[in-house]
Every structure is written in C-alpha cells, then in structure tokens.
Amino acid sequence: MKRRGWLMPALGAAIVVLGVANLLLGSVDIPFRAVLDILFGGGDDTSEVWRNIVLKSRLPQTLTALVAGAGLAVSGLEMQTVFRNPLAGPSVLGISSGASLGVACVVLVSGAGGHALSRMGYFGNMAMTIAAIGGALAVMALIAWVSQRVRGNVTLLIIGVMIGYVANAVIGVLKFFSVEEEIRAYVIWGLGSFARVSGDQVMFFVAAMCVLLPLSLLLTKTLNLMLLGDGYARNLGLDVRRARLVVIALSGVLTAVVTAYCGPVMFLGLAVPHLCRGLFATSDHRVLTPASMLCGAALALLCNLIARAPGFEGVLPVNSVTALIGAPVVMWVLFRKRKNDFAE
C-alpha cells in the first residue's frame, strides 16, 4: 500500500484527462477555448449549436459516466466481499434483471395497452427510470429477505442467479406479446448508455450518487472483517446477519439507481475491483473502496469515449465496449496473480 501511494493520484489525474477528453472529443469539432468559454462563461462568440452540444450532451454524459462507473465498481467490490466470491457483481443476484423486468413491464405492457411509452418522450423516460428502480428494489428486497433466512453465501448467490433467470423468462414472455416497436425500445435500453440521461435528470442522478457513494466508505471496517468469513467476523464483534443486510442493501441500491439511468452496464462492476486488487496488491477496503471508485469512474469515461469515437457514434453500445475492455482486464489480472503466487 505504501509502495503504491502514487497510484491514487495517478487515477485522479486519469479521471481529469479522460473527463476533459470526453468534453472535447466528439463527432462535432469544437475548439478547446470554446469549450472552456461555454463551461465557465465569458466569450460570447460561441455558437448556440456548440453550446447545446457541450452543455446538453457532452457534460451530462461525462458526469453520468463518472458517477455511474464509480457506483458500479463499488457495488461490485461490496458484492464480491460479502459473497466472498470473485465472480459476484452487480449483474448477478438478479438486481439488474429486476431493473430490466421493471422496464420491460412498463415499456412492453404500455405498448400493448395502446399508450406506447417509446413515443412519450420525457414522461416515457421518467416512467422507465421509476420502473427500473422499482424492479431492482423489489428483487433486492427479496434477496435481503432471503439473506436473513439462509445459511451460507453460495446458496444466496445461487438464489440470486435463479431470480435473474425467472425475471428474464418473464421478460421473454412479455416480449412475445408485444409490438415490435416497443421491443426495440426495450432492447435499446438494455444495451446500456451513459448518453440517455438528459440535462435536468442528470443533476438528480449525480446528487443521488453523491449521497450513496460516501456511504460505502462507512462500511470499511465491516467489509474488512467479512473477508475473514462469518465465523471469524462474528467472533471479532460483527453482527454478521445485520452487516450482510446493510452491505447488500447499499450495493443493491447503487446498482438499481445506475441501472435505472444507464441501463444494465455490464462488466465494470466485476472487472474494476479485480483490477484494483491487482494494482494495489491489497485486500484492505480502506484502499480498495476509494480506489474502485476512482478506477471505475476512469474506466467508464474511457469506455464512453471509445463508444463515441469517430465511425462508431450511435452504433457501438457502451456494453460492448465495457465487455471488450473488462474481460481482458480480468484475465490479465488473474494470470498475473497466478504467476506471482508461484514465484514466491
């Protein structure tokens, strides 16, 4: 941890650079000076079009990617610790599936009822967000309820995965009875995107995450004890059942909120904690929690940048980019770790 002290500031710097790049780069060429003028006022010669692009598209997107990446990464870290399973992440436990089910219900059922949400604009977006949070929280409540009743984390993990399957099956049935247009609206939501959060919603989203993210820092001691396993944690004074409930609830809410606004973004939550453990060579959550936030934010910004790169715009969904970057990262970390284990 001491040897790697420079990494934290480096991650911070990476976020700044990537954030600026997200504001500067895009399909429309806007000079650096003009972007600065638009952001900080001054210089009246900037065109209205540029102003709109920066303030209504690029800035919300950058902020969304920033907090969504941090949220998913921390949520993944917490899940991996509480379930003591390296494959746990926001998309297991069926929480993302719950959000998807909520959205599917609203989008597909409304289509069947003749009030196509996909054509309702702002109100439609709002309804989708609420539906996603509702679906995710419902599944989370179910998981939390189950977590108080079953022994063993593997059982709980498997139940979570099963709930995911059930949700997907219900979505499948809903799709079968839906209009094609509505299915498309649902599929697009399912691809994940940092761009869909519009200007006025972004403030609400960022504010919510600014409240939720620091809460994770309060769980540092709890999470460190959980690394030891239930028996040792309990012996060292942790109320394991309550702690499990609190951690699952917090990481669940984080996932739910992010998924509601950005769709189910895959892989960030799984890959970033592994990346951080590899980079910082520690399991200590005093380091890992902030590191995951920074690393997740940086990676989300990078993915958003790639997804928007010339030639791709509007074509490449964020989910594909996160998977393309995330999967090799996880493999690299695992291979490297193996080699070190043998070396010592």
Q: What does the binding site for another protein look like in residue numbers (CB under 8 A)?
A: 84, 220-221, 224-225, 227-229, 231-232, 234-239, 277, 281-284, 286, 337, 341, 344
Closest distance of CB 248 from another protein, Å = 20
With respect to another protein, which residue has the nearer C-beta, 32 or 232?
Answer: 232
What CA–CA distances, in Å, run from 114 to 31, 48, 101, 126, 156?
A: 46, 38, 20, 18, 40
With respect to another protein, which residue has the nearer C-beta, 151 or 176?
Answer: 151
Closest distance of CB 282 from another protein, Å = 6
With respect to another protein, which residue has the nearer C-beta, 84 or 175?
Answer: 84
What does the block give as tokens for 297? Answer: 């934010």
- Number of Cβ within 10 Å of residue 224's Cβ equals 18
Closest distance of CB 95 from another protein, Å = 24
Closest distance of CB 334 from another protein, Å = 12
With respect to another protein, which residue has the nearer C-beta, 177 or 232?
Answer: 232
End-to-end CA distance of the chain: 18
With respect to another protein, which residue has the nearer C-beta, 204 or 232?
Answer: 232
Q: Which residue has the tokens 């799984």?
A: 270
With respect to another protein, which residue has the nearer C-beta, 136 or 156?
Answer: 156
Q: Which residue has the tokens 């989203």?
A: 205
Closest distance of CB 271 from another protein, Å = 16
- Give the CA-trace dihedral at 34, 39, 44, 45, to 10 degrees: 20
- Number of Cβ within 10 Å of residue 219's Cβ equals 21
Closest distance of CB 32 from another protein, Å = 41
Q: What is the 3-state secondary structure (H, E, C) of 212-277?
A: HHHHHHCCHHHHHHHCCCHHHHHHCCCCHHHHHHHHHHHHHHHHHHHHHHHCCCCCHHHHHHHHHH
Contact between 107 and 186 under an 8 Å Cβ cutoff? The reply is: yes
Closest distance of CB 236 from another protein, Å = 4
**Backbone phi, then psi, for 295, in 5-degree steps?**
-65, -40
With respect to another protein, which residue has the nearer C-beta, 51 or 84?
Answer: 84
* Among 207, 213, 294, 307, residue whose Cα is nearest residue 263: 307
